[in-house]
Structure 1
Amino acid sequence: MLGQLYVISAPSGAGKTSLVTRLLEIDPMIKVSVSTTTRPPRPGERDGVNYHFVDKTTFEQQVADGAFLEHAKVFDNYYGTSRTTVMQQLDAGLDVILEIDWQGAQQIRQQFTQLTSIFIAPPSFSELERRLKGRGTDAPEVIAKRMSEAVSELSHYHEFDYLIINDDFDSALMHLHSIFVAKRQTLGYQQVKHASLLTQLIPT
């Protein structure tokens, strides 16, 4: 049984990472693809856990080798999704999340027809700015740039299958998880999962 592929996108500060982290804790069938990036680690981030941190030369070589399903430049840094890792997880029957921006989502849609895409938006720009400042990790000019980029990112929300407004964290988490649970109840998924049972119930 193949797993299902998900893309989750959001402007920086919308709460995507926090929601996905909690989602992984409550549902063992969900995994997140660890992206490769050229940006430096933030405090507390670990190589191979949060990201695979590489230099620009290494990243460009991996692009040339066709190692990525998608890659993009965001805030002057490069990000890419490992082709091999994602396919291995899907083949193992796991639901795989790609935390990528709208540009990466467009690339993935061209390769996977069964992709499910989810966009997470903040309840307001003022709340988005408050969350970015609350991190305490970015300089004022970086926050200003992220706020500017958020306008562009939010303009692509309509390209996604689902939209979640992260106003209340617990509600947003429930809505996010419900998408994964509902997808597992589709006819095609259940026919594979319960093939033996269905043969007994409806003998041919």
Structure 2
Amino acid sequence: MWTLPNILTMSRILALPLLGYLMWWPGWELGYLLAFGLYAAMGITDYFDGMLARASGAVSKLGIFLDPIADKIMVATVILVLTAMGVLRGPYVGDMHVLAGLIILVREIAVSGLREFLGGLQVSVPVSKLAKWKTTFQIIALGALILGQGLPDWNVVAGGITHNVPHTVGLVTLWAAAILTVITGWDYLRVGVKHMD
């Protein structure tokens, strides 16, 4: 049960309080740089736990259960802490960037519930290529938003407005992830509705 892939997955879950702590102090640049390093390490373990499980034939029920949970609570932790610290704010729309994070969180909860419902009916919902792109944008967005707080002087001026480069990349890719979230969430819902009559 406690294979290396499962230990890597559990390490991501256990590291979440530290990740949240490091991001909890606005203006603590070192904390955010450490948080970015931890976030990157968690992303690397996410890649390797699945790869190792498949390569070694160590895919387990515990791993199948824990891996998506670890991913979702990591995303939720980062979005919630960044929102609480006022990081999901930027030019043109101010605090409205929080909506992109909210869309992502709502979709994660809804799709988890849908998968649980369909699992009881022995219906599997494969992950689409578009959903993989959504995940990629989401990972880049959250990492860039963390990094932007650690590198507040990495700025460019465009249109008379000073933009922090990683923060701006983070906001743009967060909206890209939110748009793909709506599209892929709708695709999953259409599959689920067919089994709800």
TM, length-normalised to structure 1: 0.27
Write 1 or 2 for the structure with the bigger share of helix. 2
Higher-strand-fraction structure:
1
Q: Which has the bigger relative contact order, CA under 8 A and spacing at least 6?
A: 1
